[in-house]
Amino acid sequence: MRNFHKTTRVTGAVAVLGISALLVTGCTRADTSGTGTGASAGAAEASPGITDDSLSLGISSPLSGPTAGPGSCSVAGLYTYLEAKNAAGGFEFGDGKTRTVKLTYLDDVYDPAKAVSNFRQLEGDGIFAYVGALGTPTNAAVMPVANEEKVPQVLLVTGATTFSKDQKTNPWTFGLLPTYFDEGAAFGKLLADAGKAVTVATLAQNDDYGKDYLAGFQSAIEGSDVKVVGSATYEPSDTTLDSQVTELAATKADTLLSAVSVTPLQVGVLTRAQDIGWLPRIFLPSNTSTPATVIEPGQGTAYPALYSTSLTKVPVSPAFADDEEVKAYNAAFEKYGSKITTTYTPHCAWSYAEGAILEQAFKGMTDPTRDSFMTALHSITGFHAPLLLDGITVDTTATDKPAIQGIQLVQYNGKGYAPASKY
């Protein structure tokens, strides 16, 4: 970034780059009316974290531990978009001013208590908004605090329905991704549409993440010839899922829905099933389906079919090498994002698109307040953010849906993912 001081924060065993936020003196919080006006009559008084030439954002994500890959990408993609735009002259806001947008990021190791502590630290440092944080349990812990403090907690990198389904109760919280419910339903529909008897075993995280996948899947197979013959759960803190896989293998199900969010655990599921001779067709969630980090180390080509969902182009895939949006992303990421991570997961592309959504909201801000920001953020419709696949768009106007609308069911073909046509 340009023209501001860089500091180093150390969280756990990882040194995390932080960017000091400018504190706005004499400011008050905006009201919650959503009108875009400040607390006093006349000119709106600025919320914390915004001046005439800068705006400060904060994010807490797992930058170390078993979910460090997705967590780092959730920061790196957003950081890339913001820094590239800052270097090009900054962001144009709806009040006629141009500002640089600064990002402070901290490591929460996928621990809810640490995420809350980080949020309070960022709030104390004077951030304007808390954006793009990864994780269902961590964001769930932060949500009541953010809403009590009236700090935007938005465009969260999680598909849990809890962050979007009731925005009237939690008006300061808003999800980014299509829901895990919809992902589960897409896979269930694939099986149900096959029109034949299918047996399924399910493995799911014991929280809203896993419950949403299962609920969506069940909704799609109701009344069909698809039968769930075994189910198991796990905790994100588990170090192995060998016992759950062994239990499910005993059902001899021909299909496995593996709603596992922790990359090493998902790799372990693939290797353990092979070790004991169970080779079902497998559905992998979008956030733990990356070929380089999951399928290749898990020797996934041993299975008859691997399915997942997708919503963005894959910048590391040769199939998109000539795409203009991908070329712009790759050039910017090499300059900025690679300082944070060099390992690609879909979260890098998702959070890069998130940066463009934030830019649209900034353009709609008529006042330097959190209220005006939230009003503008909820006014975006029909927007194609960079890297989104054709047919997938951004619509933030609903009060019960996340920002990105639409998913594509895909199947791994040995080199990458292609649209799935049948089961």
259-288 residue pLDDT tens: 999 999 999 999 999 999 999 999 999 989
- Is residue 416 in some structural domain? no
Q: Does residue 5 surpass a pLDDT of 50?
A: no
Q: Are residue 113 and residue 254 in the same domain, yes or no?
A: no
SS3 content of the chain, % helix, strand, coil (to 5): 35, 20, 40
Last residue of a domain, one of 287, 310, 333: 310
CB atoms within 10 A of CB 148: 9
Q: What is the pLDDT of residues 368-409, one digit of tens each?
A: 999 999 999 999 999 999 999 999 999 999 989 999 999 999
Looking at the structure of the chain, the number of domains it has is 2
Whether residue 55 is found in the same domain as residue 149: yes
Look at residue 361 and tell me if it is in a domain: yes
CA distance 112 to 58: 16
Are 173 and 184 members of one domain? no
CATH code, domain with 273: 3.40.50.2300
Q: Is residue 142 part of a domain?
A: yes
Residues 239 and 154 in one domain: no
The answer as to whether 317 is a domain residue is: no
88 and 156 housed in the same domain:
yes
Domain carrying residue 43: 6-178+322-405
pLDDT digits (tens, 9 = 90+) for 190-234: 999 999 999 999 999 999 999 999 999 999 999 999 999 999 999
Domain-embedded: residue 362: yes
Alpha carbon separation from 69 to 65, 176, 181 (Å, rounded): 9, 19, 23
Q: What is this structure's pTM?
A: 0.85
Same domain, 330 and 201: no
Quick one: 20 exposed, middle or buried, by C-beta within 10 A (0-12, 13-18, 19+)?
Answer: middle
Q: Is residue 316 part of a domain?
A: no
Domain boundary among 281, 310, 339: 310
Lay out the sheet containing 173-175: strands in order across: 91-92, 98-107, 54-61, 129-131, 153-156, 173-175
Pair 149, 241 in one domain: no
Same domain, 185 and 54: no
- The β-bridge relationship of strands 14-19 and 6-11 is antiparallel
Last residue of a domain, one of 310, 331, 358: 310
